[in-house]
């Protein structure tokens, strides 16, 4: 088991790792719309979604992969009315690659963010 960390995303805001790689499979912790400096990127769903996916991409990259290696995504939204806007940005990041996905509504998320995502990936060049 290898713990994955990267300095290109916000540091974990609790006692957990950004990702754990075991048996060639990466399990990421939830990523939110915080910049590398720990600041919220914006108060709208599109900018937060873009930052979340950028952060996830960086964690996957640190494990030796890309978003094309993602097998499963989980999306947490505080407002399902944001689904379409989130989905539009999500499609920009994944293109024709379509991992399995669950999207759920939640009452709240850390730091008052609007969206959080985590993923399971199998990096082709895992470290």
* Residue 127 reports pLDDT greater than 80: no
CATH code: domain 2-121 is: 3.30.1330.40
What is the DSSP code (8-state) at residue 85?
Answer: H
Find where tokens 């996957």 sit: 60
Q: Is the dihedral of CA 56, 60, 65, 70 positive or negative?
A: negative
Q: Compute φ and ψ for 115, nearest 5 degrees.
A: -150, 145
Give 91-116 pLDDT, tens digit per residue: 999 999 999 999 999 999 999 999 99
Domain limits, the chain: 2-121
Nearest C-alpha neighbor of 39 from the set 75, 14, 9, 18: 9
Give 59-100 pLDDT, tens digit per residue: 999 999 999 999 999 999 999 999 999 999 999 999 999 999
Query: Whole-angstrom Cα distance, residue 23 to residue 26?
Result: 8
């Amino acid at each position: 088991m290898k713990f994955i960390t990267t300095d290109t995303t916000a540091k974990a805001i609790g006692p957990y790792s950004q990702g754990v790689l075991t048996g060639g499979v990466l399990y990421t912790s939830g990523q939110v719309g915080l910049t590398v400096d720990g600041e919220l990127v914006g108060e709208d769903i599109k900018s937060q979604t873009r930052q979340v996916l950028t952060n996830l991409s960086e964690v996957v990259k640190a494990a030796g992969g890309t978003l094309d290696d993602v097998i499963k995504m989980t999306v947490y939204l505080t407002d399902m009315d944001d689904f379409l806007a989130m989905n539009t940005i999500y499609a920009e990041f994944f293109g024709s690659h379509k991992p399995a996905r669950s999207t759920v509504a939640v009452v709240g998320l850390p730091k008052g963010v609007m969206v959080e995502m985590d993923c399971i990936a199998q990096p082709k060049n895992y470290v």
